[in-house]
Amino acid sequence: MVHVLGRANSINVQKVVWCITEIGIPFKRSDVGMEFGGNETPEYLQKNPTGLIPTLEDGDFTVWESNTIVRYVSEKFGKGDWLLSSPAERAQASQWMDWYVTAMHAPMTVIFRNLIRTLGSNRDMAEVHAATRTAVKYWTMLDNHLSDKKFVCGDLISIGDIPVGCSVYRWYTMELERPNLPHLYAWFDRLQEREAYRTHVMTPLT
Ligand SMILES: N[C@@H](CCC(=O)N[C@@H](CS)C(=O)NCC(=O)O)C(=O)O
């Protein structure tokens, strides 16, 4: 049994919980962060000095950084689709995971913070429009990439789908003007067929 520390509505916690549910690892999750607090206590900071969520405990071993946790659980517990056997496959998946963090996360966070976490008149819609233009550029890149494959790394789902898969739900759920990106939408449809995705990622945006 692994232990995930972090509130369920955090995208970074969702990456971890979606992944460990797909792999079939028994887990418990404790609400930590935002309204639940608990992430600035000396005890938590001892586990995760960033004071951010998620943190994963696996017996005596503790690890933080959501993408690193996803890589760790797939390497330790993954089988079938979820165990990438070659360095090339792992690199392909990692590439899209890191690309999400370094490119997509920032504009998507600006949009999310304004549209979901800020009340109407306080929203900075100029900021939202600028971030949406950037996000469209990135989602178009992924749409092109998906034109000849079912999932980010090919025919099978992998950890490469996890970060962008969590984010694409937000992209299609927030009230935004979006271009028609058929390959991206078809992939989003395929993700929605997965029970773990519906349960842990497709939750109300709060
Ligand atoms: N790079 C870190 C970022 C973690 C992060 O920013 N977590 C946010 C939630 S998504 C957080 O801890 N916010 C403070 C809080 O929830 O109290 C990761 O991927 O794990």
Res. 120 pLDDT band, cuts 50 70 90: confident
Average pLDDT over residues 175-192: 97
Read off the tokens for 190: 């395929």
Indicate where the chain has its CATH 3.40.30.10 domain(s).
2-81
Q: Which atom of ligand 1 lies nearest, measured to the CA of 36?
A: 17
pTM exceeds cut of 0.85:
yes
Question: Does residue 65 line the site of ligand 1, with CB under 6 A?
Answer: yes
pLDDT digits (tens, 9 = 90+) for 61-98: 999 999 999 999 999 999 877 988 899 999 999 999 99
- Give the pLDDT of residue 195: 98
Q: Is the CB of 83 under 6 A from ligand 1?
A: no
Q: Say how far apart CA 78 and CA 75 lie, in whole Å.
A: 6
State how far the Cα of 25 lies from the Cα of 7, in Å rounded to an integer. 19
Is the minimum distance from the CB of 57 to ligand 1 under 6 angstroms?
Answer: no
Q: Residue 65 CA: which ligand 1 atom is closest?
A: 20
| Local confidence band at 198 (pLDDT 50, 70, 90 cut-offs) | very high
Closest Cα to atom 11, ligand 1: which residue?
52
Distance 50 CA to ligand 1 centre (A): 9
184 lines ligand 1 (CB under 6 A): no
Provide the percentage of residues in the chain whose pLDDT is more than 70: 100
Atom of ligand 1 nearest to the CA of 53: 12
What number does CATH give the domain 2-81? 3.40.30.10
3-state helix, strand, coil in the chain (%, to 5): 60, 10, 30
What would the 3-class secondary structure string for 64-94 be? ECHHHHHHHHHHHHCCHHHCCCCHHHHHHHH
Q: Where in the chain is the domain with CATH 1.20.1050.10?
A: 84-198
**Mean pLDDT of the chain, nearest integer:** 97
* 84-198 has CATH 3.40.50.720 classification: no
Note the pLDDT tens digit of each residue in 17-38. 999 999 999 999 999 999 999 9
109 SS3 class: helix
Tell whether the model's pLDDT for residue 129 goes beyond 80: yes
Q: Is there an atom of ligand 1 within 6 Å of 107 CB?
A: no
Closest atom of ligand 1 to CA, residue 54: 20
**Checking phi first, is residue 32 left (phi over 0); if not, alpha (psi -120 to 50) or beta?**
beta
- Residues above pLDDT 90, as percent of the chain: 95
